[in-house]
Structure 1
Amino acid sequence: MTVQRADARRNYARILAVAEDEVAAHGADASLEQIARTASVGSATVRRHFPTRAALLEAVFRERIEALRVRAHELTGADDPRAALLEWLSALNAYAASARGLADAMASGGAADPDYAGGCATSLTEGLAPLVDRAVRAGAVAPDVTATDLVTLITGIALATEHHPTPASEADRLLGLAVAGISPTR
């Protein structure tokens, strides 16, 4: 483990705070140069801490993604596997609809930078997989549905609703339609 100097830690924290504001305002296309200027660092300093845009976006969303992973783990013991899965999907859907740039980060899934370990979609998929497996075993979800499918679905909903006048309500509506589609036929 590499120990960062105090000034490097301060720069990282300042860059991340500015990036959070810029991504909230401008989405995944937030200007890295503007982030550097606002954080009072050079663009090389931004690149040193965040070698790619995907790495920066992942850092911006890391805390909330981790909270969603923890919630998925908590829900794996719920009595009703379908309700647990739908609760978690609704939470991800609500966050993805409200967090500008998250859908782009989920869409990249680390593919834009294969050397960068991590990625929003990968973290979410790993957290979701046990919930999906449990719901499939209970017959609450069609057997061919995967965690990757559902993260991709939420990503698509977030991308489709990002510029909608009411993204949260439209995302909820679209998730409802999708849930009917992933349900097993009776």
Structure 2
Amino acid sequence: MPAQRADARRNYARILAVAEEEVAARGADASLEQIARTAGVGSATVRRHFPTRRALLEAVFRERIESLAARARELAEADDVRAALLDWLGALTVYSATVQGLATALLRDGELDPEHANPCVNTLAEAGEPLLRRAERAGAVAPGVTPVDLVTLIAGIALTTQHHPDPATEATRLLHLTVAGISPRG
């Protein structure tokens, strides 16, 4: 019935909007019950649209993840591939460090799981692969570094700096400290 479908779409949009606000305020541990109450729906409705917390977090971050993926694809053609890779990693680091819950959304059961990576990780890894491989061929990245390695690194930095007074600056500083390990040419 079209009316139910329209109601379902409205509920989805309302739940997602409330979830974005709650995750921004409380991080990945935002209460699903509070999200349901604020959205004016039952918790079963939230779970119908988002069967797991991870599904809700992925939906909350989808647009920005897509933007970061588009940036990686754009930078893959840059003349200075090392600078392009570091530009992308910097953008990913700052965003991950300043948006509560994103680092957690990149994790699976507390650790990044390369064999069962979630859609956020898959999107970033697929988009970053050509940029990373090009940087590797140019000698700008140590052989064997994978896109999942880079997302793991960024998630770790973001988690480490989440309670810092200036998480973006601290995360960027830590990324620069690590660059020598993934990109030996300075």
Pairwise same-fold verdict (TM > 0.5): yes
Supply the distance in 2 between the matched residues of 1:146 and 1:119 (Cα, whole angstroms).
17
> In the TM superposition, what are the counterparts of 1:92-111 in structure 2 within 5 Å?
92-108=92-108
Supply the distance in 1 between the matched residues of 2:167 and 2:67 (Cα, whole angstroms).
22
Amino acid corresponding to residue 84 of structure 2 in structure 1:
A
User: Do the aligned residues in 1 keep the contact of 2:125 with 2:147 (CA within 8 Å)?
Assistant: yes
Supply the distance in 2 between the matched residues of 1:54 and 1:16 (Cα, whole angstroms).
13
**CA distance change for structure 1 residues 110 and 46 in 2, over 3 Å: closer, same or farther?**
farther
Consecutive unaligned residues of structure 1, counting only runs of 5 or more, are none
Paired residues, number: 179
Q: Give the TM-score normalised by the residue count of structure 2.
A: 0.91
Q: Does 1:163 align with 2:170?
A: no
Q: CA deviation at 1:118?
A: 4.7
User: Do the aligned residues in 2 keep the contact of 1:54 with 1:119 (CA within 8 Å)?
Assistant: no
Supply the distance in 1 between the matched residues of 2:130 and 2:160 (Cα, whole angstroms).
27
Tell me the C-alpha RMSD between the 2 structures. 1.8
Amino acid corresponding to residue 85 of structure 1 in structure 2:
L
Alignment identity in percent?
71
User: Do the aligned residues in 1 keep the contact of 2:71 with 2:88 (CA within 8 Å)?
Assistant: yes
User: Do the aligned residues in 2 keep the contact of 1:106 with 1:121 (CA within 8 Å)?
Assistant: yes
Deviations 1:74-119 (A, max 9, x none): 11110011011000000100100111000000112896xx6xx952
Q: Does 1:127 align with 2:123?
A: no
Alignment correspondent of 1:66: 66
Q: Does 1:88 align with 2:77?
A: no
Alignment correspondent of 1:16: 16
User: Do the aligned residues in 2 keep the contact of 1:72 with 1:127 (CA within 8 Å)?
Assistant: yes
Q: CA deviation at 1:184?
A: 2.7
Deviations 1:115-173 (A, max 9, x none): xx952112111111111100000001111211111110000000000111111111011
User: Do the aligned residues in 1 keep the contact of 2:112 with 2:152 (CA within 8 Å)?
Assistant: no
Supply the distance in 1 between the matched residues of 2:78 and 2:137 (Cα, whole angstroms).
14
**CA distance change for structure 1 residues 106 and 70 in 2, over 3 Å: closer, same or farther?**
same
Q: CA deviation at 1:185?
A: 6.5
- SS of the equivalent of 1:5 reads helix
Amino acid corresponding to residue 125 of structure 2 in structure 1:
T
